[in-house]
Amino acid sequence: MIKRCIPVFILMATALIYSSCRKEGFLAATTTTNLDEKSVFGDSSRTVGFLANIYSNVGLSASLSRFSYNFITCGGLEAACDEAEPSHAFSTPATQFATGTVNAGIIGEEPYKTCYSQIRAVNVLLKNIGNAPLRQAYKTQMIAEARFLRAWYYAILVQHYAGVPLVGDTLLSYDKPIVAKRSTYEECVNYILSELDAAGSILPVTQSGLNYGRASKGACLALKARILLYAASPLFNGTTLPADAGPGGGVSVDPALVGYPTADMNRWKLAEDAAQAVITLGTYTLNTKNDYQTSSPGYGFQGLFPQRVNTEYIFQLMRPTGNSDFENLFLPPSRGSNGQGSFPYQGLVDAFPMKNGKLITDPSSGYDPNDPYKNRDPRLDYSIIHDQTVLLVRTSNGQTNGSAPVNIYVGTYNGVSTGQDAVHQGTLTGYYNNKMLDPEAIAATINHGSDRVQPLMRYAEILLNYAEAANEFEGPTGNVYAAVEAIRERAGLDPYQLPSGLSQSEMRTYIQNERRIELAYEGHRFWDVRRWKIAPQTENIQSQGMEVDRANGTVSYKVFNVTKHNFRPAMYLWPFPLSETGKSSELVQNPGY
């Protein structure tokens, strides 16, 4: 059931920490408390601050510190699927989904509560902005941004639950009946698309300067492409979820709540066209800039993420300059991290091909299990810290003192014994995450922080969205090849070209693996394996790590078991929390729960 009235002063109470390119930008810090609607919307700066606060949770789904227990972070969605091991074994949705123990009684309220709180905030703004002392042109843009944000939060809800209650412009309050009846999946998709079309017709193609980080027409089109791609995917396009989920889900759940009951191949065409619309803008390109190096293969991939502003980001979570929170989560202990990130699995490492583009399972790839990180896709080193990866060294005063390899091995090597970074000590899998970390940033210090923001939609995703949709609708055309090969070329593969004459099925496999490695740790994998309906294969696994032994002057590599993962068909969707379904029989639970 949707939460009842949330006073405006609560929505305004949280200080907004995010900033744009300059500290005085639109997303700069805003601290306002104990204000009613008249006070907020009677003041121009408070009105602007109110909208800025609605942006504060846009990174909810993709947050890498999303799940925690008693203030100890355990990871994000990457730790709830076959990407990574949670840093701690506490019962959070990450471990619940990984082990197959999730149910409606223990699942958190986070996505449901947060999204509807922000949707209500949008509706408060739409109701009151007419009274704000702002120029009409500025009000018009703020309304368009708010409608994009409402669509964004509904998209997160639909991603988690499929069909959800649509409240329109209604302001929920204590003196009015609460609408808790779920709308169909189709109704939700259509509503989101209509909001994006309306917002996109007003917003500029991109935002820059002090407005960087705000919603744009490009963001509207990109979210539309993502929504339509999901809608065309096997999980939703001709859904069989009620039957798949078995006892508890096969009788009482209307299939229309969790997808389109009848499949339609034309939905792939809609997704293809939507992605093409972003490409046709000609505004976004794959990044090829790197402030730290200019010649190493794939440097544009590594160089993308430390940049605050670039040509690839379409929508992003703005964050303060000089941040080091990703480093705090993911760097090895010797570099000052708090050890509360997640640890990549061997399966993710093995998904990266060789530099020649061939999978390591291909006998002709040149892969050497006795030297497993040699001649690999450059994105592997930019995404994963393995034994002997070279990183900056931090001193006690927060400065840096050169670089040194990370010793993750067991045994003694060159007179150096196992230390705090070692497998089974600092890392549960023998790996640390390196994705989106700044090569010149170190943990727990502002002296060497990053100006990085977190990407929520970027051009590489659009190319992969286009390739997937076009391949499903038309087959592996030249345009499909071109989209995938552009990403492989930027990655530094040589040759980057795909094999000629691929079948639709073979191309699908390449696209799915490209998504896995290009978009790793960006909140996609958890949803991708579900919408493709391959989760029974990818999630029913024995996760593994790597132990490197350097004792006695020799080097050996041994794969070891970590956590047994389990998947039930009910886990294609999140359950609505019992705290919500218990409030109203109208809020029908998802299949299998």
In the chain, what percentage of residues exceed pLDDT 70? 91
Residue 110 has pLDDT above 70, yes or no: yes
Q: Indicate whether 588 belongs to any domain.
A: no
Residue 176 has pLDDT above 70, yes or no: no
Q: Indicate whether 111 belongs to any domain.
A: yes
Question: Which H/E stretch holds residue 546?
Answer: strand 542-549
Q: Indicate whether 423 belongs to any domain.
A: no
Residue 1 has pLDDT above 60, yes or no: no
Cα angle 292, 294, 297; round to 5: 110
- List the alpha helices (DSSP H) in 201-291: 217-232, 241-244, 255-258, 266-280
Count: domains in the chain: 1
Q: Indicate whether 378 belongs to any domain.
A: no
Rounded Cα distance between 187 and 251, Å, is: 22
Q: Indicate whether 554 belongs to any domain.
A: no
List, for residues 90-104, the tens digit of each pLDDT value: 999 999 999 999 999
* CATH number, domain with residue 149: 1.25.40.390
Residue 67, sorted as left (phi over 0), alpha (psi -120 to 50) or beta, turns out to be beta
Confidence of residue 34 (pLDDT cuts 50, 70, 90): low
Q: Indicate whether 108 belongs to any domain.
A: yes
Give the residue from 290, 229, 286, 238 showing the smallest Cα distance to 264: 238
Residue 354, sorted as left (phi over 0), alpha (psi -120 to 50) or beta, turns out to be beta
Cis peptide before 378 (omega within 30 of 0): no
In the chain, what percentage of residues exceed pLDDT 90? 81
List, for residues 545-568, the tens digit of each pLDDT value: 999 999 877 899 999 999 999 999
Residue 6 has pLDDT above 70, yes or no: no
Residue 38 has pLDDT above 60, yes or no: yes
Hey, which residues does 391 pair with through a beta bridge? 404
Please report the pLDDT score of residue 362 as a whole number. 97
Give the residue from 417, 388, 383, 394 showing the smallest Cα distance to 337: 394
Q: Indicate whether 218 belongs to any domain.
A: yes
Rounded Cα distance between 93 and 85, Å, is: 13
List, for residues 318-363, the tens digit of each pLDDT value: 999 999 999 999 999 999 898 899 999 999 999 999 999 999 999 9
- Structural domain harbouring 93: 8-261+572-581
Rounded Cα distance between 93 and 467, Å, is: 31
Q: Indicate whether 249 belongs to any domain.
A: yes
**Range 59-63 average pLDDT:** 96
